[in-house]
Amino acid sequence: MDLKNRYGNGYSCLIKTEGDVFKMQKELEDLQPILVQKGQETEQQLIVVSKENAEAQIVKDRVAVDEAEAQKFADEAGAIKKDCEEKLAEAIPALNAAKDAVNCIKTSDIAVLKGFSSPPAAVGAVTKVVCMFMDVKPDSKMNPQTQKKEYDWWGPSIKMMQQSGFLNSLINYDKEGIQ
């Protein structure tokens, strides 16, 4: 009886398993077209991804070239900045010396300059530069020896120094606005 029950149970399990296998086989057969379709979609997506990767690589290469060029410009700008800072460091003491020199000018010093009929070369050069900075135009005269037009800065320099507030205009000159 035990043997019969064992065979009966075994037979029932085999029948049930055969039904389950048949069901699973049917499901696999039903899923086969879906698997084929999904495989084709995957292949198409791989093609798209490969194409996009190639395009991305081209963009990446362009960006690398642009980045290298930008770095070159940045390096050049850095060198210019360093050069400017060095020149500024050299110019600041001269600027401070010029400020000190202008601040020590007295009205009596200007009166002495105005008394010259013909200034010494250094005084003429300095007043010429001051005229240029103050936008004072020179007188144009004909040189009798060369018969050429020459510029005379001394006359306009004296007129400039006679203006009220001349000394203050030197002291408060907008050195930042120089073009």
Alpha-carbon distance 158 to 114, whole Å? 6
- Select from 106, 161, 108, 175 the least CA-distant residue to 131: 161
Domain definitions of the chain by residue range: 1-104, 105-173
Quick: pLDDT tens for 82-99. Answer: 999 999 999 889 888 888
Whether 156 contacts 135, CB under 8 Å: no
What would the pLDDT profile of 8-19 be if each residue is shown by its tens digit? 888 899 999 999
Strand residues in the chain grouped as ranges (E): 139-142, 149-152
- The model carries a pTM of 0.50
End-to-end CA distance of the chain: 120
Residues in the chain with pLDDT values less than 50: none
Cα gap 18→28, rounded to integer Å:
15
Does residue 114 contact residue 127 with C-beta atoms inside 8 Å?
A: no
